[in-house]
Chain A
């Protein structure tokens, strides 16, 4: 108990010495620090000198680890599978150490929980920083990464995104790395369990580190709002045979990103007939034929109008389609 408190006091001093907790710490575990003093003196006219005993202090192993997320926010679509978060696990201690990895998707403060893919955690076996076929799935207790002082390993975490998410929803996923020798408050000592039989002492990181990555949903939703105005032959608005119905459809995109190759179609209602030449896009006339312009009227198999809206986004504003039918 006493030695624990003293080592804690010593570790606390690190704040002033090292550049911060993420900074790896110096002298390798097991190093002997020796000191021998010397004194010279005169007795009468004779000058002599003598050395002291040599005091030796052994550098104990400090257990420290830092996890950083290399991909803090990843954009995903609803239902996307095996979406990668990339982490880096660094041994910031001063001796070789084995680390356990654990992921967690149940984190408060987000809108959805990512679903761990199977397998979910991969080690960057070929150290190229990119997830590829040669990277090994991680199995706790089987291929726990062993890192020398200052060494790091890149870790990939793969999650699936639920379908029932909407634009700007976030889902968080974290990765924890723990020193296998042990964790605890700074100063916790594991006697004789350090490199080369020295003591292992928990450093300021508590020998455990967790970082969180965020999946952010980018989804665009398109809403078409249709209105009608009836004009009968006598200047009124009665929907009688021969009356014209003018339809106006306003298409709005809301959300993040761009919907590509958006296509609008609307069937001509039963008991009505399309008015040739009445199709408009943003007030511009579209010919009825399937030609160079964006719109067409198709008589078969189902009578309908179609307008190719192309790429639409929220920033692009609304698109207004108009056409008319007559009541048979």
Chain B
């Protein structure tokens, strides 16, 4: 009917969403980004195999997904006691010893609330206590010892297999 008017409305919506995002960032000193990737194996013409990470979109059961969390300090001041929490996604099982996070201490939780180093976690099963295994973990926590300086970034990542 009136193309000019339609364009105006779309432009207004974009402006709106941008401003709200800007507002959210202004209130938080850390920008946290989560991503999911899978390993893709390719074979070149010479038959040499190489593995690279690509964004996960659709995956089949049994696939290992690499979840990566990136925290960036977007403020002018350093952030202290930076602690990243990530639940093991539903329908997924944590892959043992796969959590990494340079400069952090990694702890695990069986209930999503209490965190402890892997060796200290136990599960009571049929009245007997046993050490917790990777499959029991419900959440992972990375506690960074050093302050996160303005503009600096830390990464935390883990692998989980789709049930």
Contact = CB atoms under 8 A, between A and B. Distances in A.
A57 B30 contact: no
A62 B77 contact: no
A55 to B, nearest CB: 5
Contact of B29 (A37, A41, A52, A54): A41
Contacts of B82: 39-41
Size category of the B interface is 35 or more
B113 interface: no
Given A13-B63, A52-B69, A35 B91 contact: no
B84 A37 contact: yes
Contacts of A39: 30, 32, 69, 71, 82-85
B64 interface: yes
Given A5-B42, A41-B29, A50-B28, A10 B63 contact: yes
A94 interface: yes
Interface stretch (A24-32, A161-169, A286-294, A311-319): A24-32
A41 B79 contact: yes
A9 interface: yes
Mostly, the B contact residues are strand
Interface in A34-72: 34-44, 47-48, 50-55, 57-62
A215 to B, nearest CB: 38
Size category of the A interface is 35 or more
B36 A35 contact: yes
A41 B33 contact: no
Contacts of A2: 40, 42, 54
Interface in A162-218: 198-199, 201, 203
A270 interface: no
Contacts of B59: 10, 33, 57-60
A47 B29 CA distance: 11
Contact of A11 (B54, B62, B89): B62
Contacts of B89: 33-35
Contact of A50 (B32, B92, B148): B32
Nearest to B143: A40
A194 B25 CA distance: 39
Contacts of A51: 32
Contacts of A7: 60, 63
B30 A55 contact: no
A212 to B, nearest CB: 28
Given A6-B41, A39-B85, A33 B90 contact: yes
B161 to A, nearest CB: 6
Contacts of A60: 58-60
A250 B67 CA distance: 83
Contacts of B39: 6, 9-10
A58 B42 contact: no
A203 B162 CA distance: 14
A278 B159 CA distance: 93
30 contacts: A6-B38, A6-B39, A6-B54, A7-B60, A10-B62, A10-B63, A11-B63, A13-B63, A18-B62, A27-B91, A33-B59, A36-B34, A37-B156, A38-B85, A39-B30, A39-B82, A39-B84, A39-B85, A40-B82, A41-B29, A41-B30, A41-B81, A43-B80, A53-B32, A54-B34, A55-B35, A55-B67, A57-B59, A60-B59, A61-B60
Chain A to chain B: the 8 pairs with minimum beta-carbon distance, closest first: A6-B40, A14-B62, A10-B63, A52-B34, A52-B32, A41-B79, A26-B163, A60-B58
